């Protein structure tokens, strides 16, 4: 895919949704961090149901840590893998309290040192909470990048690096949200809505044999 096509794709995304936001509910970087840790292999809707109960009761590292694993589990047991997630969150809270003055760190290295935080989660926090122009590649972004031809790659990291290189700088800050929303609602895994897709004429998927 050439530079002009990519620019037009993101121009249209911006035209349709000038200020895209995450669908996770949060009001500060710490709440976002916890929500993203909980969102692994879970839906944003499911996470929001749990955090809508949890955050009014506990939304600081100290308050969540005080719940303990069992106490926290009661709030998040509707989410998949809640036992291991509860352990990770409690340990993350301890590290934030002891090593970061209860603040969410703003570097990828420090974020990835927290339990339950991988590269994708770190990038979500850096981008959404702190406004860093980074790209968190989830299954939706991986699929859209490959299917459309925007940034094809065999691994998540390869796609991330290509997006960082090829997405025009003026769109980079919001590209993560546009691509996720496009993959979630239009360019779906099994039933892509090509006929109602805003970028169908620019997409390279329709030129290939149907998968």
Q: Which residues are catalytic?
A: 120, 138
Instruction: Find out whether 93 is annotated in a ligand binding site.
Output: no
Q: How much of the chain, in percent, has pLDDT values that exceed 90?
A: 93
Region 189-194: mean pLDDT is 93
pLDDT band at 199 (very low <50, low <70, confident <90, very high): very high
Would you state the structure tokens that stand for residue 99, as one six-digit string? 């090593």
Q: What is the pLDDT of residues 132-191, one digit of tens each?
A: 999 999 999 999 999 999 999 999 999 999 999 999 999 999 999 999 999 999 999 999
Region 36-44: mean pLDDT is 92
The pLDDT of residue 210 is: 45
The pLDDT of residue 211 is: 43
Tally of CA atoms within 13 A in the half-sphere of 201 that contains its CB: 3
**Comparing 207 with 131, which gets the higher pLDDT?**
131
Would you state the structure tokens that stand for residue 125, as one six-digit string? 């926090």
The pLDDT of residue 157 is: 96
pLDDT band at 209 (very low <50, low <70, confident <90, very high): very low
Region 68-90: mean pLDDT is 95
Q: Quote the DSSP letter at residue 40.
A: T
Region 48-55: mean pLDDT is 96
Q: Quote the DSSP letter at residue 210.
A: P
Would you state the structure tokens that stand for residue 55, as one six-digit string? 């955050």
pTM summary value: 0.89
What angle (nearest 5°) sits at the alpha carbon of residue 83, between those of residues 188 and 48? 45
Residue 21 has pLDDT above 70, yes or no: yes
Residue in this structure with the two tokens 């839906």, named with its chain if needed: 43
The pLDDT of residue 32 is: 97
Q: Residues 50, 34: contact at Cβ < 8 Å?
A: no
Region 40-53: mean pLDDT is 94
The pLDDT of residue 206 is: 62
Instruction: Find out whether 187 is annotated in a ligand binding site.
Output: yes
- Which DSSP helix (H) or strand (E) runs through 3? helix 3-16
Q: How much of the chain, in percent, has pLDDT values that exceed 70?
A: 97
Q: Residues 151, 166: contact at Cβ < 8 Å?
A: yes
Write down all domains in the chain, each with its CATH number in brackets.
3-20+134-207 (1.10.1670.10), 29-128 (1.10.340.30)
Region 66-71: mean pLDDT is 96
């Amino acid at each position: 895919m050439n530079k002009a096509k990519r620019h037009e794709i993101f121009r249209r995304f911006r035209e349709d949704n000038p200020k895209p936001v995450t669908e996770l509910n949060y009001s500060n970087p710490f709440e976002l961090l916890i929500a993203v840790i909980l969102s692994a292999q879970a839906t944003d809707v499911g996470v929001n149901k749990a955090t809508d109960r949890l955050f009014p009761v506990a939304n600081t590292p100290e308050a969540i840590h005080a719940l303990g694993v069992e106490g926290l589990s009661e709030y998040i047991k509707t989410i998949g893998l809640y036992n291991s997630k509860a352990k990770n969150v409690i340990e993350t809270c301890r590290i934030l309290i002891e090593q970061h003055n209860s603040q969410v760190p703003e570097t990828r290295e420090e974020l990835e040192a927290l339990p339950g935080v991988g590269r994708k989660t770190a990038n979500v926090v850096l981008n959404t909470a702190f406004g860093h122009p980074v790209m968190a590649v989830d299954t939706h972004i991986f699929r859209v990048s490959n299917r459309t031809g925007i940034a094809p790659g065999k691994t998540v990291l390869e796609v991330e690096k290509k997006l960082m290189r090829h997405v025009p700088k003026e769109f980079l800050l919001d590209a993560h949200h546009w691509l996720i929303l496009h993959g979630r609602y239009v360019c779906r895994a099994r039933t892509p809505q090509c006929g109602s897709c805003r970028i169908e004429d620019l997409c390279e998927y329709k030129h290939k044999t149907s998968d």
